[in-house]
Amino acid sequence: MRQGYLTKVSLKMTRYKDNKIYLSDFGNEFTFSKKFHKNNISFNRVAFVFFLFILISLIFSVKIFYYSSISESQLTPKKVIQKKNFRSDIIDIDGNYLAKTVLTNNVGINPNQENDKKKLFVKLKLLFPDINSEEFNNKFKKKKFFYLKKKLSPEKYDQVRLLGEKSIITEQKITRVYPHQNLFSHVLGQIDDENNGISGLEKSLDSDLKNQKKNVQLTLDTNIQFLVRNELVKFEKIFKSQGSAALLMNINTGEILSLVSIPDFNINKRNEITDLRFINRITMGVYELGSIFKTFTLAGALNERIVETNTIFEDLPKSLKCAGRKISEYDMDIPSTLTAEQILIRSGNIGSVRIAQKMGIEKTKKFLNSLNLLDPIEFDLEEIGRPLPFKWGKCKLATVSFGHGISTTPLQIATAYAIISNGGYKIKPTLLKKQRIFKKNQILSDDVSNNINSILRKTVSTKEGTANLANISGYEVGGKTGTAQKIENGVYTKKKINTFVSIFPTRKPKYVLLVLLDEPKTNSEYVYSYRDGSGIKYKGTPFNTAGWTTVEVVGKIIEKIGPILATKYDDFY
């Protein structure tokens, strides 16, 4: 009998004629075939293996079908991606992305799920050589969960997942990416980890960005913004300033093409900014800006028909006193007899006081109010500075006339210059590109703009003017300088705020460009080159005034952006 079927059978077996064997000692009957063929056994084994193969194939097919029918987010431990985290993209005037919502890959660690910390760290170190051992260990000890890396590339993300460590938590998350990093930091602002806007347009447009599907288009031009910022960064090193800012605006529409404030920051990093040096100096900074207010003094008097451009002011003293305080000319060589026009061109303090005295407090106050200079301005950003209040009086009228004792924001100054230069039509500055019907609300007489623009041009183009360095051939630049002392703890210091507000081209004004330097210093090695074609050069900064600092920066900026404005915006002239 074949081994494996019956061995050592101690049963009574009986053979019968039918060639079958019967076990007669049991009540039940067992029958076996007499012959055992190798072919039968092989067939049974093959059938069994084939059955197993079919079964396994069926199981894998079911699993493949299942996994292909579910989203990737169900395969690994991840946070649920919710629709509420979506934010509309922000684009510039040309459709370039400034802020974009994307799906990013993040990797975190759950220390409670890891038994071998050293082994885990070695694996991660191979993928991320920049991981700090001490920092990793501290987080591993103190936290239940911490992020290891955020915004990984798809390749790196897959490599992490293939490590197969339980303690590694992979996550795909909707997040905000800013392709230009620092370039628009003060305009765009930041969002928090819950995808809520906390500053800039991300905050002021938070609801719109969450609820509308179309892109939000701005008036900003990325190329111009880049060129303006480059010049500010360069001259911050030259003049060793604490900060700087620039604003370029269309004077007819209020559309802002560039808004830069230095220092800025990389908004992709979402760092908490507490240093006041990082404020938006254009919208949030409140400064006494000095002589640029003299333009408003003369414009108001011309609008009220109190003076004409050729009205003569004789025997102007070099100084005068008001309430025991001395008011002096900054330039003692200024003539004692000047016309109203010459007072602005030569930036006379005493002449401006005399013009304001002719205007009086009420008319001066009313005119400044009409230009939105005394109260906070409406704007697309929530970071708006509030001009400091003051009590009007005869002495305050005198100092306000030349920009002393009155503060406001650079945004308000640029807007006021736009109104004075565009024919006297009120505008609302904006960063948002919209199809608008502009209402013509004229607040100045027809000839005021023409007269002021002509005087501003002479401030740049004539030898008597204070802004000769901005006299760029072909652009007809006009403008006014302002040099003011900074106030710290209520006391005037020797530190300065230098500002230049330019209008160009003055025969058909289109743009206002304001540049501010905070605490600039003189530079004995810097070489100035006059841009009027004379070829005159001058080495070293003779005076720490706007005429030698901000005017130079404006000249450099217009040289860079002028060709773009002239070719890209066909209504430049």
For 170-208, the pLDDT digits (tens) are: 888 878 899 999 999 999 999 987 888 999 999 999 999
CATH architecture of 83-218: Alpha-Beta Complex (3.90)
Look at residues 294, 265, 241, 188 and name the one whose alpha carbon lies nearest to residue 516. Answer: 241
Band (pLDDT 50/70/90 cuts) for residue 438 is low
Listed in order, the ranges of the chain carrying CATH 3.90.1310.10 are: 83-218
Other C-beta atoms lying within 10 Å of the C-beta of residue 431: 24
Output DSSP code: residue 546.
Answer: G
pLDDT at position 537 over 70: yes
Is 225 or 169 the better-scoring residue by pLDDT? Answer: 225
Other C-beta atoms lying within 10 Å of the C-beta of residue 476: 19
pLDDT at position 85 over 90: no
Look at residues 377, 503, 380 and name the one whose alpha carbon lies nearest to residue 434. Answer: 380
Band (pLDDT 50/70/90 cuts) for residue 81 is very low
pLDDT at position 7 over 60: no
Other C-beta atoms lying within 10 Å of the C-beta of residue 223: 17
CB 509 within 8 A of CB 571: no
Least confident range from 60-69, 390-399, 459-468, 528-537: namely: 60-69
pLDDT at position 370 over 70: yes
What does the pLDDT average to over 122-133? 90
- H or E segment and range at residue 174: strand 168-177
What is the fold of 225-267+280-568? Beta-lactamase (3.40.710)
| CB proximity list for 568: less than 8 A, separation 6 or greater | 221
pLDDT given at position 72: 45
Is 349 or 57 the better-scoring residue by pLDDT? Answer: 349
Using omega within 30 degrees of 0 as the cis cutoff, is the peptide bond preceding 111 cis? Answer: no
Distances (CA, A) of 404 to 93, 316, 510: 38, 19, 29
* pLDDT tens-digit map of 511-531: 999 999 999 999 999 999 988
- H or E segment and range at residue 458: helix 446-461
**Two tokens, residue 45:** 């084994």
Look at residues 515, 539, 536, 516 and name the one whose alpha carbon lies nearest to residue 526. Answer: 539
How far apart CA 462 and CA 419 sit, in angstroms, is: 24
Q: Which residue has the tokens 């003094």?
A: 297
Distances (CA, A) of 37 to 33, 50, 51: 10, 20, 22
The burial of 320, by beta-carbon neighbours within 10 Å (0-12 exposed, 13-18 middle, 19 or more buried), is given as middle
Q: Which residues of 520-549 are buried (b: 16+ CB within 10 A; e: fewer)?
A: beebeebebeebeeeeeeeeebeebbbbbb
CB 87 within 8 A of CB 176: yes
pLDDT given at position 274: 76
CB 440 within 8 A of CB 447: no
Least confident range from 28-37, 118-127, 480-489: namely: 28-37
What does the pLDDT average to over 1-6? 43
Look at residues 39, 2, 270 and name the one whose alpha carbon lies nearest to residue 147. Answer: 270
Percent of the chain with pLDDT over 70: 84
Read off the amino acid at residue 256.
Answer: I
pLDDT given at position 330: 83
pLDDT given at position 84: 57
Band (pLDDT 50/70/90 cuts) for residue 144 is confident
pLDDT given at position 83: 52
pLDDT given at position 41: 56
pLDDT at position 106 over 60: yes
CB 511 within 8 A of CB 520: no
List the alpha helices (DSSP H) in 14-103.
38-68
pLDDT given at position 324: 86
Least confident range from 79-88, 285-294, 493-502, 513-522: namely: 79-88
The model carries a pTM of 0.80
pLDDT given at position 29: 45
**Two tokens, residue 206:** 């938070």
Q: Which residue has the tokens 């892109």?
A: 215
Listed in order, the ranges of the chain carrying CATH 3.40.710.10 are: 225-267+280-568
What does the pLDDT average to over 354-358? 97
pLDDT given at position 436: 67
How far apart CA 408 and CA 417 sit, in angstroms, is: 13
**Two tokens, residue 370:** 């009409």
Strand segments, DSSP code E, in 293-394 are 312-313, 319-322, 325-328, 338-339
* pLDDT tens-digit map of 14-64: 444 444 444 444 444 444 444 545 555 565 666 666 666 676 667 656 655
pLDDT given at position 571: 54
CB 364 within 8 A of CB 356: yes
pLDDT given at position 6: 42
Read off the amino acid at residue 118.
Answer: K
How high is the mean pLDDT of the chain? 86
